[in-house]
A and B are shown apart, each in its own frame.
Chain A
Amino acid sequence: MSNAVVVDSLYESSGIFAPIQMQDVRHAQYPWFFPVSESVRPVIPDKAPSQRTTTIRDLASRKYQLNKALEITVEECYDPHEIVACYSEVEAFGRGNTEAEALHNLKIDIRNLFEELSQDDSGNLGKLPTKWLRILGTLISEV
């Protein structure tokens, strides 16, 4: 009996599965006797997105300023890796490879949304955009 088999039998008797590398070696040597079982291969779960909150205190603009800090949700996603930042009160959104980039794009989006809504004098704003404009109007002022 080889040393590898002795070690394997110890693993099996102890209820611990043999390391994957050892199984692969056995499989390579005796494929008809040691088929590699998928059930003992570790399943590496997809990394779940991680979420946290942060605040922004400006809109990266010389024209507009924030009257108060905004609470922002920042989510780190995988596969592909990306950071997304949302200010859900007005459904504004920014994304990027880094948190700084995502927050900068979010600030741009908030400015764009505010400018677009405040310049719309057609009377065609629906229920949600009207609410967003009201919220942004209290949060943003011109410098």
Chain B
Amino acid sequence: MQSVFSPRRARGLSLIEIMIALAIGSLLLVGLVQVFAASRAAYQTSEGMSRVQENGRFAMEFLQRDLRMAGHYGCVNDQAHMQSVDSLDNHFPVATGASWGVAFPNSNPAVGSPGGSIRGYEATNTEPGQTVTLGAATAGWTPALPPVIAALNPLPGSDIIEVRYLGEEGLPVINIANPSAAQTIFTVPAARWATFNADGVGAPTMFGIADCSFANVFPAAAVNPGAGTVLVNAFIDRYVAQPVGTALLHRAESFVYYVANGASGQPSLWRARADVAGTFPVGGREELVEGIESLQFLFGLDSVVDITVTPPSGFITQQSTGAGVVNNPMNWRRVGMVQVGILASSPDTAAAAAPQDAQRRRALGVVFAPPAVPDGRFRTTYETTVAMRNRLYGN
């Protein structure tokens, strides 16, 4: 019997057969590659879209949280404190460009304070209606950046905002002592000291004490977490310890939000925390969200124009960019609402075509033109309106 697979019966393929097989095979292969390429592009686009969406959501979450707290000085906000001399005392040296991080408000006009609870820096050529070309934005901000903020290397074409407030959670002051005529020691429950270490602040140095009448913001000369004490080189005797009084000790916060290059080389949203010297040390700079290419802010101003004569009404009637507010520095005290716009781009290329002129992304009226060399990133904008919860006193 002969086997079916006997070598004698193997004949091989002719050239024609091979050519036809190759032609059909390569045709199928090209089709397959096409299908794979299309599905890869679709995957990249949906991946880019979801990354952009989650980045935008996180950026908004951080910004909303801190903007809502701006102006929080305990029981009464900074606007109300500023109505009466000495209601809000600031024990920091008067802030200069080299110590701008500690530009907390001060209600004593004789001492004065150039800063405040909120302040924006409007990037040049980013007024509503203007166009910013990504990667080629005009440098400069209005007002000019203080040297300590310029040292953060913020990217042009993106607004910058600074906020100052007393931290969300205060600890009850259970003892107040004056060891000398120029010193005060506040004691809080040591078991709850961890409240002051929230958000990764290992060694808090800036504090504020407040009750429903007064507030004092000061640098700590020494802290002792084990005993729950904070030493201040100032004589502060106008508070009554709990439970008779209502004084709470808070950590004082001073932040700058800006856009700068992140670890990946892409623009990212950054937050810098000021230290007690008023600078923004490298250790206090955090890259919060990658792929945020631009921040835009509009400020809502109270209907009361001269807030030094008439208390604010809480009725927001005017909208302005940071550059518009700065025409009269007093206007920063009128801010009761902030509109935020962000431009988020995907961290990786997402097979997105450069948008046509009519379909360019816009945030708060600012138009973003694609980079000169298309980079295939997916981009979109998000906008939100934040009521400055603590300044809307009485509602």
Do the two chains belong together in a single complex?
Answer: no
The chain B residues found within 8 Å of chain A, CB to CB, are: none
